Amino acid sequence: MVDPEHDPVDAVRHFTRFFTGKVGVLKERLLDSAFTPPEARVIFELGHQDGLTARDLADMLALDPGYLSRLLGGLKRRGFVSQAVSERDRRRQILTLTGSGREAVETLIVRSRSEIGEVLAPLDAEKQRELVDNLKAAERLLACETASVVPVIRPHRAGDLSWILARQAALYEGEYGWDGEFERLLLKIGSDFVERYNPDDDCLWIAEHDGRIAGSAAVVRDGPETARLRIVYVEPAARGFGLGHKLVGASIDFARRQGYREMVLSTYSVLSTARRVYQAAGFELCREEPDEVFGQSLVEQHWRRDLA
């Protein structure tokens, strides 16, 4: 049974309604032009590909041939599209844009970029990059494609820690509404890691995806034979590729090699995806208690895994 709050069909329908409202594609005339949205689709395709027939267009745009014929008839009468017999195959009637048609396409492109630019204007550069990453990930998923680059898990380098702490603070504020108290906690964790770092005891794993930092997981000493797992997170655009499992797995392997007998971690019940990763890695819930923290009423959880 599909969780109503995470129904993928409803989510896609909701986003489609939201985005079409943002860019106004449901207006009778697209981008305040002389074209309806179906007419604009036709001239866009003719402007980007040569040698197309009406049959080609109908297949590409999934349009009824009769409906497409009426669209093309109107565009021809208005002087935007012409049709001629192919020089290579006399059986084919090739559609091309006239000079007026090409000018119209260029105008539509300029207006479209301007309209999208206005939608994106309230977002800073970092949020725009995050949006682009998410859109690319959605396109790959809907096309049933795998990631173009295999994700990499590597040891941290100079500058990585500061970057991931800032990203995690920003993400958790946006996704869960956690306030500055969480950022202060992250800064303390980061400061402690730098001051106490010993490569025989501690590590910070960095996930890279398409050449960008996509997540992290740290191991620190928490007792003579106890390792603690900290600052585990995965970037939204990189979710769905198993990076959380890989980061936690690398952390467990490191702790075993260094002779730790157990690994512990603390998290919050609201982080359900992370909890599933911990459970899959063999962690068991030891205890939990309510907590007023980060401007929220949360349930703190403590997990443990035997490494012997």
22: which strand partners?
Answer: none
- Is the predicted pLDDT of residue 136 greater than 90, yes or no? no
Task: State the average pLDDT for the chain.
Answer: 86
Is 248 part of any domain?
yes
What mean pLDDT comes out for the span 24-33? 54
Q: Are both 116 and 169 inside the same structural domain?
A: no
Q: Look at residue 170 and give its three-state secondary structure.
A: helix
Strands 262-268 and 284-293: unpaired
Q: How confident is residue 57, by pLDDT bands cut at 50, 70 and 90?
A: confident
CATH number of the domain encompassing residue 69: 1.10.10.10
Residues 6+ apart with CB under 8 A from 22: 119
Is 13 part of any domain?
yes
Q: Are both 78 and 201 inside the same structural domain?
A: no
- Is the predicted pLDDT of residue 210 greater than 90, yes or no? no
Q: Which domain holds residue 105?
A: 4-121
Where does a domain end: 121, 143, 177? Answer: 121
Q: What is the C-alpha radius of gyration for the chain, rounded to an integer number of angstroms? A: 27
- What gap in Å lies between CA 237 and CA 9, rounded to an integer? 19
- Is the predicted pLDDT of residue 50 greater than 90, yes or no? no
Please give the tally of structural domains in the chain. 2
Q: Are both 170 and 79 inside the same structural domain?
A: no
**Residues 227/263, Cβ–Cβ less than 8 Å:** yes
pLDDT at 147 (0 to 100): 47
- Is the predicted pLDDT of residue 266 greater than 80, yes or no? yes
Return the residue matching tokens 């949205």.
Answer: 37
- Is the predicted pLDDT of residue 92 greater than 70, yes or no? yes
DSSP of 232-287:
EEE-GGGTTSSHHHHHHHHHHHHHHHTT-SEEEEEEETT-HHHHHHHHHTT-EEEE
**Residues 236/134, Cβ–Cβ less than 8 Å:** yes
Higher pLDDT among residues 131 and 181, named by residue: 181
pLDDT at 249 (0 to 100): 94
